[in-house]
Amino acid sequence: MNPHTAPAETVVRLEGITKRFGETLALDDASISVRRGEVVVLLGLSGSGKSTLLRHVDGLERPTDGRVTVLGREVTELTGRALRRLRSEVGFIFQQFELVPSLTVLENVLTGSLATVRGPRLGLWSYGRAAKAEALARLERVGLLDRAYQRADTLSGGQQQRVAIARALMQRPQVLLADEPVASLDPESSDQVMALIREIAADEGLTVICSLHQVDLALSWADRIVGLRHGRVVLDTETEGLSKAQVMEIYGRVATSTDQMAAIELELAGDAVR
Protein backbone atom coordinates (compact mmCIF):
# COMPACT_ATOMS: atom_id res chain seq x y z
CA MET A 1 0.00 0.00 0.00
CA ASN A 2 2.91 2.24 0.52
CA PRO A 3 5.37 2.37 -2.34
CA HIS A 4 7.30 5.36 -1.03
CA THR A 5 9.04 3.88 1.95
CA ALA A 6 12.79 3.47 1.78
CA PRO A 7 13.89 0.38 -0.19
CA ALA A 8 13.57 -2.59 2.18
CA GLU A 9 15.42 -5.89 2.06
CA THR A 10 14.42 -8.38 -0.57
CA VAL A 11 12.52 -11.25 1.04
CA VAL A 12 11.59 -13.26 -2.04
CA ARG A 13 13.89 -13.63 -4.99
CA LEU A 14 13.36 -15.93 -7.93
CA GLU A 15 16.24 -16.03 -10.39
CA GLY A 16 15.89 -17.60 -13.79
CA ILE A 17 13.33 -20.19 -12.75
CA THR A 18 12.58 -22.80 -15.38
CA LYS A 19 10.13 -25.56 -14.58
CA ARG A 20 9.21 -28.43 -16.83
CA PHE A 21 6.45 -30.95 -16.20
CA GLY A 22 7.39 -33.62 -18.68
CA GLU A 23 7.10 -31.92 -22.06
CA THR A 24 5.29 -28.87 -20.77
CA LEU A 25 7.26 -25.78 -19.98
CA ALA A 26 5.43 -24.22 -17.02
CA LEU A 27 7.96 -21.53 -16.20
CA ASP A 28 10.52 -20.21 -18.62
CA ASP A 29 13.43 -18.32 -17.10
CA ALA A 30 11.17 -16.33 -14.78
CA SER A 31 12.71 -13.86 -12.34
CA ILE A 32 11.11 -11.59 -9.81
CA SER A 33 12.14 -10.13 -6.51
CA VAL A 34 9.91 -8.79 -3.80
CA ARG A 35 10.89 -6.47 -0.96
CA ARG A 36 9.63 -6.73 2.59
CA GLY A 37 6.12 -5.35 2.97
CA GLU A 38 5.56 -5.10 -0.75
CA VAL A 39 2.30 -6.22 -2.35
CA VAL A 40 2.83 -7.83 -5.75
CA VAL A 41 -0.03 -8.97 -7.92
CA LEU A 42 0.51 -11.57 -10.62
CA LEU A 43 -1.62 -11.23 -13.73
CA GLY A 44 -1.96 -13.71 -16.52
CA LEU A 45 -4.18 -16.24 -18.22
CA SER A 46 -4.82 -19.57 -16.61
CA GLY A 47 -1.93 -21.81 -17.53
CA SER A 48 0.46 -18.89 -17.70
CA GLY A 49 2.45 -20.20 -14.74
CA LYS A 50 1.13 -18.08 -11.86
CA SER A 51 0.34 -21.01 -9.57
CA THR A 52 3.58 -22.77 -10.40
CA LEU A 53 5.51 -19.61 -9.62
CA LEU A 54 3.80 -19.25 -6.24
CA ARG A 55 4.37 -22.92 -5.42
CA HIS A 56 8.09 -22.44 -5.99
CA VAL A 57 8.23 -19.73 -3.33
CA ASP A 58 6.91 -22.21 -0.77
CA GLY A 59 9.13 -25.04 -1.92
CA LEU A 60 6.10 -27.06 -3.03
CA GLU A 61 7.80 -27.36 -6.41
CA ARG A 62 11.48 -27.69 -7.17
CA PRO A 63 12.68 -25.73 -10.18
CA THR A 64 14.19 -27.57 -13.11
CA ASP A 65 16.63 -24.72 -13.27
CA GLY A 66 17.20 -21.52 -11.32
CA ARG A 67 17.41 -20.28 -7.74
CA VAL A 68 14.72 -19.45 -5.22
CA THR A 69 15.69 -17.41 -2.18
CA VAL A 70 13.07 -16.71 0.46
CA LEU A 71 13.68 -14.93 3.77
CA GLY A 72 17.40 -15.23 3.19
CA ARG A 73 17.30 -18.99 2.69
CA GLU A 74 17.96 -20.93 -0.47
CA VAL A 75 14.71 -22.87 -0.82
CA THR A 76 16.10 -25.34 -3.32
CA GLU A 77 18.73 -26.42 -0.79
CA LEU A 78 16.33 -26.94 2.11
CA THR A 79 15.02 -30.31 3.24
CA GLY A 80 13.28 -31.79 6.25
CA ARG A 81 12.75 -29.59 9.26
CA ALA A 82 14.45 -26.56 7.74
CA LEU A 83 12.10 -26.67 4.75
CA ARG A 84 9.11 -27.13 7.03
CA ARG A 85 10.17 -24.16 9.13
CA LEU A 86 10.48 -22.00 6.04
CA ARG A 87 7.06 -23.11 4.84
CA SER A 88 5.57 -22.23 8.19
CA GLU A 89 6.84 -18.68 7.75
CA VAL A 90 5.11 -18.43 4.39
CA GLY A 91 1.32 -18.52 4.43
CA PHE A 92 -0.47 -19.92 1.39
CA ILE A 93 -4.08 -19.22 0.45
CA PHE A 94 -5.52 -21.46 -2.25
CA GLN A 95 -8.21 -20.81 -4.80
CA GLN A 96 -10.19 -23.83 -3.56
CA PHE A 97 -9.59 -23.04 0.15
CA GLU A 98 -8.35 -26.62 0.70
CA LEU A 99 -9.80 -27.18 4.13
CA VAL A 100 -10.22 -30.73 5.35
CA PRO A 101 -13.99 -31.01 4.89
CA SER A 102 -14.75 -33.46 7.68
CA LEU A 103 -12.80 -31.67 10.40
CA THR A 104 -14.12 -28.86 12.53
CA VAL A 105 -13.29 -25.29 11.60
CA LEU A 106 -11.13 -24.99 14.71
CA GLU A 107 -9.09 -28.09 13.91
CA ASN A 108 -8.54 -26.83 10.38
CA VAL A 109 -7.11 -23.60 11.78
CA LEU A 110 -4.96 -25.60 14.18
CA THR A 111 -3.34 -27.46 11.29
CA GLY A 112 -1.61 -24.16 10.55
CA SER A 113 0.46 -24.72 13.70
CA LEU A 114 1.64 -28.23 12.82
CA ALA A 115 5.13 -27.07 11.90
CA THR A 116 5.71 -25.90 15.46
CA VAL A 117 4.89 -29.25 17.05
CA ARG A 118 6.50 -32.65 16.73
CA GLY A 119 4.58 -35.73 15.79
CA PRO A 120 1.16 -36.38 14.35
CA ARG A 121 -2.04 -34.73 15.49
CA LEU A 122 -5.56 -36.00 15.10
CA GLY A 123 -8.49 -34.62 17.01
CA LEU A 124 -8.87 -31.39 18.94
CA TRP A 125 -7.67 -32.95 22.16
CA SER A 126 -4.25 -33.54 20.64
CA TYR A 127 -3.47 -29.82 20.42
CA GLY A 128 -2.47 -27.81 23.47
CA ARG A 129 -4.73 -25.32 25.20
CA ALA A 130 -2.52 -22.40 24.20
CA ALA A 131 -2.66 -23.39 20.54
CA LYS A 132 -6.41 -23.70 20.77
CA ALA A 133 -6.73 -20.26 22.32
CA GLU A 134 -4.56 -18.80 19.58
CA ALA A 135 -6.56 -20.54 16.86
CA LEU A 136 -9.80 -19.22 18.35
CA ALA A 137 -8.33 -15.73 18.39
CA ARG A 138 -7.46 -16.10 14.70
CA LEU A 139 -11.00 -17.21 14.03
CA GLU A 140 -12.30 -14.17 15.90
CA ARG A 141 -10.06 -12.05 13.71
CA VAL A 142 -11.76 -13.38 10.57
CA GLY A 143 -15.19 -13.12 12.21
CA LEU A 144 -15.99 -16.81 12.47
CA LEU A 145 -15.50 -17.52 16.17
CA ASP A 146 -19.06 -18.80 16.52
CA ARG A 147 -18.41 -21.42 13.85
CA ALA A 148 -15.39 -22.95 15.60
CA TYR A 149 -16.96 -26.35 16.23
CA GLN A 150 -18.83 -26.74 12.99
CA ARG A 151 -17.59 -29.03 10.26
CA ALA A 152 -15.66 -27.08 7.64
CA ASP A 153 -17.82 -28.31 4.79
CA THR A 154 -20.95 -26.81 6.34
CA LEU A 155 -19.60 -23.32 5.66
CA SER A 156 -20.13 -21.21 2.56
CA GLY A 157 -17.25 -20.66 0.15
CA GLY A 158 -16.51 -17.18 1.49
CA GLN A 159 -16.51 -18.45 5.07
CA GLN A 160 -14.25 -21.35 4.14
CA GLN A 161 -11.76 -18.97 2.59
CA ARG A 162 -11.82 -16.90 5.77
CA VAL A 163 -11.05 -20.06 7.75
CA ALA A 164 -8.18 -20.71 5.36
CA ILE A 165 -6.92 -17.19 6.07
CA ALA A 166 -7.12 -17.90 9.80
CA ARG A 167 -5.15 -21.09 9.19
CA ALA A 168 -2.47 -19.15 7.32
CA LEU A 169 -2.36 -16.59 10.17
CA MET A 170 -1.91 -19.44 12.62
CA GLN A 171 1.50 -19.95 11.00
CA ARG A 172 2.47 -16.38 12.03
CA PRO A 173 3.78 -15.87 8.52
CA GLN A 174 6.03 -13.12 7.22
CA VAL A 175 5.11 -13.72 3.61
CA LEU A 176 1.60 -14.40 2.32
CA LEU A 177 1.06 -16.15 -0.99
CA ALA A 178 -2.43 -16.18 -2.44
CA ASP A 179 -3.37 -18.08 -5.56
CA GLU A 180 -6.53 -16.57 -7.04
CA PRO A 181 -8.03 -16.34 -3.55
CA VAL A 182 -11.42 -15.08 -4.67
CA ALA A 183 -11.79 -16.67 -8.09
CA SER A 184 -14.15 -19.35 -6.77
CA LEU A 185 -16.39 -16.94 -4.86
CA ASP A 186 -19.49 -14.95 -5.70
CA PRO A 187 -18.93 -11.20 -6.07
CA GLU A 188 -20.15 -10.30 -2.59
CA SER A 189 -18.06 -12.81 -0.64
CA SER A 190 -15.23 -12.05 -3.01
CA ASP A 191 -15.27 -8.41 -1.90
CA GLN A 192 -15.41 -9.39 1.76
CA VAL A 193 -12.57 -11.88 1.51
CA MET A 194 -10.40 -9.52 -0.51
CA ALA A 195 -11.02 -6.71 1.99
CA LEU A 196 -10.05 -9.07 4.80
CA ILE A 197 -6.83 -10.14 3.09
CA ARG A 198 -5.86 -6.54 2.41
CA GLU A 199 -6.64 -5.47 5.95
CA ILE A 200 -4.70 -8.33 7.51
CA ALA A 201 -1.76 -7.88 5.15
CA ALA A 202 -1.58 -4.21 6.08
CA ASP A 203 -2.00 -4.81 9.83
CA GLU A 204 0.60 -7.53 10.02
CA GLY A 205 2.95 -5.85 7.57
CA LEU A 206 2.98 -8.97 5.41
CA THR A 207 4.84 -9.29 2.17
CA VAL A 208 2.21 -10.42 -0.33
CA ILE A 209 2.38 -12.17 -3.65
CA CYS A 210 -1.11 -12.71 -4.98
CA SER A 211 -2.41 -13.83 -8.32
CA LEU A 212 -5.62 -12.14 -9.39
CA HIS A 213 -7.58 -11.40 -12.47
CA GLN A 214 -9.50 -8.31 -11.35
CA VAL A 215 -7.53 -5.44 -12.83
CA ASP A 216 -9.01 -2.63 -10.76
CA LEU A 217 -8.38 -4.64 -7.62
CA ALA A 218 -4.79 -5.19 -8.67
CA LEU A 219 -4.43 -1.50 -9.39
CA SER A 220 -5.85 -0.27 -6.12
CA TRP A 221 -3.95 -2.72 -3.95
CA ALA A 222 -0.69 -3.74 -5.55
CA ASP A 223 2.55 -1.87 -5.31
CA ARG A 224 3.70 -3.76 -8.35
CA ILE A 225 2.11 -5.81 -11.09
CA VAL A 226 3.86 -8.76 -12.69
CA GLY A 227 2.49 -10.20 -15.91
CA LEU A 228 3.08 -13.78 -16.95
CA ARG A 229 2.59 -15.40 -20.30
CA HIS A 230 3.51 -18.93 -21.27
CA GLY A 231 5.66 -19.11 -18.16
CA ARG A 232 7.62 -15.96 -18.98
CA VAL A 233 7.60 -12.73 -17.05
CA VAL A 234 6.45 -10.30 -19.72
CA LEU A 235 5.72 -7.37 -17.48
CA ASP A 236 6.98 -6.07 -14.16
CA THR A 237 5.85 -2.57 -13.32
CA GLU A 238 5.07 -0.30 -10.38
CA THR A 239 1.40 0.60 -10.23
CA GLU A 240 2.20 4.14 -9.07
CA GLY A 241 0.76 6.55 -11.59
CA LEU A 242 -0.74 3.91 -13.84
CA SER A 243 -4.26 4.62 -14.96
CA LYS A 244 -6.85 1.91 -15.16
CA ALA A 245 -6.90 2.32 -18.92
CA GLN A 246 -3.18 1.68 -19.06
CA VAL A 247 -3.48 -1.35 -16.87
CA MET A 248 -6.37 -2.64 -18.90
CA GLU A 249 -4.24 -2.20 -21.94
CA ILE A 250 -1.39 -4.03 -20.25
CA TYR A 251 -3.73 -6.71 -18.99
CA GLY A 252 -5.14 -7.04 -22.46
CA ARG A 253 -1.66 -7.66 -23.73
CA VAL A 254 -0.85 -10.09 -20.97
CA ALA A 255 -4.10 -11.86 -21.51
CA THR A 256 -3.95 -11.92 -25.29
CA SER A 257 -2.94 -15.18 -26.73
CA THR A 258 -2.04 -14.04 -30.23
CA ASP A 259 1.58 -14.50 -31.03
CA GLN A 260 2.06 -11.18 -32.80
CA MET A 261 1.78 -9.42 -29.48
CA ALA A 262 4.81 -11.14 -28.12
CA ALA A 263 7.35 -8.86 -29.72
CA ILE A 264 5.55 -5.67 -28.72
CA GLU A 265 5.07 -7.02 -25.27
CA LEU A 266 8.71 -7.73 -24.73
CA GLU A 267 9.57 -4.28 -25.88
CA LEU A 268 6.98 -2.56 -23.73
CA ALA A 269 7.76 -4.78 -20.78
CA GLY A 270 11.37 -3.78 -21.13
CA ASP A 271 10.28 -0.14 -20.93
CA ALA A 272 7.99 -0.76 -18.02
CA VAL A 273 10.59 -2.42 -15.88
CA ARG A 274 12.96 0.48 -16.35
Partner 1 sequence: MTAVTERPRTTGAAPAPVTAPPRRRVSPERVAAGLTLVALLVASLVALRSVDIDPARMLQSWANAERFFGRVGAIEFPPLGELLQLTALTLGLVICGTLLAAVLSVPVAVLAASNTTPGPGWRAAARFVTVLARAVPDVVLAMVFVLLFSLGTLPGILAIGLHSVGMISKLFADAIEQIDEGPRTAIRAAGGSRLQQFTAGVLPQVLPSWVATVLHRNDINLRGSVILGYVGVVGLGMEMSFAFKSLDYGLGLGYALVIFVLCVVMEIVSSSVRAAMLGIAPTGRGLGDRVVRRATRRRGAGHPAPSRPAITTVESALRRPWDRARRRDVSWGWLAVAVVVASIAVCDIAWSDLVTVWAKVPAVATQFWPPSFGSYEASTMVAAMGETIAIALAATVLTLVASIVVGSLAARNVAPSRGVRSGMRLLLVGIRGVPEVILAIVLIVVTGLGTQAGTLALALGGVGLLGKLLADSFEEVSPGPERALSATGASRVQVYAGATLPQGTRALIGHTFYMLDTNLRAATLLGIVGAGGVGYYLLNASQGSNYGTVTAIVLMILVTVLAVEGLAIWMRRVFR
Q: Does 259 bind partner 1 (CB under 8 A)?
A: no
Closest by CA position to 215, among listed 252, 186, 241: 252
Given 14, 30, 53, 99, the residue binding partner 1 (CB under 8 A): 99
Q: Does 146 bind partner 1 (CB under 8 A)?
A: yes
> Of the listed pieces 70-78, 90-98, 237-245, 252-260, which binds partner 1 according to CB under 8 A?
90-98
> Of the listed pieces 10-18, 35-43, 71-79, 98-106, which binds partner 1 according to CB under 8 A?
98-106
Given 8, 77, 143, 149, the residue binding partner 1 (CB under 8 A): 149
Given 29, 98, 204, 249, the residue binding partner 1 (CB under 8 A): 98
Closest by CA position to 191, among listed 212, 168, 208, 164: 212
What 84-90 contacts at long range (C-beta under 8 Å, 24+ apart), as own/partner pairs, is: 84/115, 85/115, 86/59, 87/58, 87/59, 87/115, 88/115, 88/116, 88/171, 88/172, 88/173, 89/171, 89/172, 89/173, 89/174, 89/175, 90/57, 90/58, 90/171, 90/173, 90/174, 90/175, 90/176, 90/177
Find the shortest distance in angstroms from Cβ 179 to partner 1: 10
Q: Does 60 bind partner 1 (CB under 8 A)?
A: yes
Q: Does 230 bind partner 1 (CB under 8 A)?
A: no
> Of the listed pieces 3-11, 164-172, 209-217, 236-244, which binds partner 1 according to CB under 8 A?
164-172
Q: Does 261 bind partner 1 (CB under 8 A)?
A: no
What 47-51 contacts at long range (C-beta under 8 Å, 24+ apart), as own/partner pairs, is: 48/228, 48/229, 48/230, 48/231, 48/254, 49/19, 49/228, 49/230, 49/231, 49/232, 50/179, 50/180, 50/211, 50/228, 51/179, 51/180, 51/211
In angstroms, the CA 19 to CA 62 distance is 8
Given 20, 36, 67, 151, the residue binding partner 1 (CB under 8 A): 151
Considering the complex, state which of residue 36 and residue 84 has its C-beta at the smaller distance from partner 1.
84
Given 38, 58, 180, 223, the residue binding partner 1 (CB under 8 A): 58
> Of the listed pieces 67-75, 79-87, 186-194, 235-243, which binds partner 1 according to CB under 8 A?
79-87
Considering the complex, state which of residue 114 and residue 183 has its C-beta at the smaller distance from partner 1.
114
Query: What is the footprint of partner 1 within residues 101-120 (CB under 8 A)?
Result: 101-103, 107, 111-112, 114-115, 119-120
In angstroms, the CA 274 to CA 270 distance is 7
Q: Which amino acid is at 241?
A: G
Across the beta sheet with 232-238, the strand order is 90-93, 175-179, 207-211, 39-43, 224-229, 232-238
Considering the complex, state which of residue 115 and residue 268 has its C-beta at the smaller distance from partner 1.
115
Interface with partner 1 by CB under 8 A: which residues? Answer: 23-24, 58, 60, 84-88, 90-92, 94, 96-103, 107, 111-112, 114-115, 119-122, 124, 129, 132-133, 136-137, 139-140, 145-146, 148-149, 151, 164, 167-168, 170-171
